[in-house]
Structure 1
Amino acid sequence: METDIRFTHRDLVEKCKTGHASSQYQLYSLYVDAMYNIGMRMLGNKEDAEDIVQDSFVDAFKNLARFKYESTFGAWLKRIVVNKSINHLKAKKVPVVPMDEHEFHLHDEPPEQMEEVEIKKVKVGIERLPIGYKQILSLYLIEGYDHIEIGEILGISTSTSKSQYHRAKKKLVEIISEL
């Protein structure tokens, strides 16, 4: 017999609302890896991602009474992690420092390694993007938010999100072509 995961998650959330510690741990275990991956993509730093994820779970458990199942618990928690990550970056005001120039000699690479080199170029290119472009690209392409949601998260208009996304893609292509 197949278990309905939504019921299980809802049941866990309801038990967590009453302070049931083992249910909190179960819910934490279900989502911690996914939330950590989001934090890493947003922050690019293991320690910061771990801190943000822990803070996000603490806030989520403190505010469970406000969770009304208008979305899944995972989507609600993801929004908390994304918002905390953005706030962390704003507070740190960390400039994006370009990495040292790397030369890739594609003609020296065997054909099966060419794809790996291209993937590395994209990753390097994304790291070199200004933080605003990087955020929008990450939220749209990796996290799957639409431009309306990105606008709400970042406090910008939907059209600004769209135009920044297109500029980010254009800039990424420029960066990759220079590598």
Structure 2
Amino acid sequence: MYRLYKLYVQAMYNTCIRMVSNQFDAEDIIQESFVKAFNNLDSFRGESSFGSWLKRIVINQSITFLRKKKQNFQDIDDLQILADEDEENSFPEIDPMMIHESIKTLPEKARVVLNLYLLEGYIHKEIADILNITESTSKSQYLRAKQLLREKLEKEIRYEY
């Protein structure tokens, strides 16, 4: 079990910290996730890789944590978001740390959807199922996160130049 822990702990921590944006909370969630995984190894059916199964546990534990903090995911279907998907992105080179720090400042709901979609590779239907929201809310949250991130980065770039 120790070898499994060493093999996966950093990747699972990275997934978790992107969702909860707090080192101490992420460490607690990772610990709880590994305990839960090791206690339920007999339920691992091998339909996916162990890493995928463990990541799902980490994501579910992170979402449970966020919900306990009363960060409920609500429908925002009526939110008007102007997103021009064809807009040319002509940004100067951006420091990855600037992007990471900007993502951390996004509203929690939008940040979680952005991370699940862009970084974890889930589609909106899966995100909707995971977060218990509608698929259109997932898309709206994603567009909102993208718009806010774009605005934050443009502001940072203007400030630097």
TM superposition score normalised by structure 1 = 0.68
User: Looking at CA atoms only, which structure, 1 or 2, has the larger radius of gyration?
Assistant: 1
Residue number among 69, 90, 94 corresponding to 2:46 in the alignment: 69
The structure with higher relative contact order (CA 8 Å, sep 6+) is: 2
Choose between structure 1 and 2: higher helix proportion. Answer: 1
Distance 1:122 1:30 in 2: 27
Residue number among 96, 118, 139 corresponding to 1:141 in the alignment: 118
Provide the alpha-carbon RMSD of the alignment.
1.9
**Structure 1 counterpart SS, 2:48:** coil
Change beyond 3 A, Cα 1:121–1:27: closer
Query: Which residue does the alignment assign to 1:101?
Result: none
Q: Which moved more, 1:59-68 or 1:72-81?
A: 59-68
Paired-residue identity, %:
53
Residue number among 3, 6, 10 corresponding to 1:33 in the alignment: 10
Question: 1:1-80 residue pairs with structure 2 within 5 A?
Answer: 24-80=1-57
Superposed displacement of residue 93, structure 1: 4.3
Superposed displacement of residue 178, structure 1: 2.6
Structure 2 stretches lacking a partner, 5+ long: 72-91, 157-161
Change beyond 3 A, Cα 1:123–1:28: closer
The count of residues paired between Structure 1 and Structure 2 equals 136
Structure 1 stretches lacking a partner, 5+ long: 1-23, 95-113
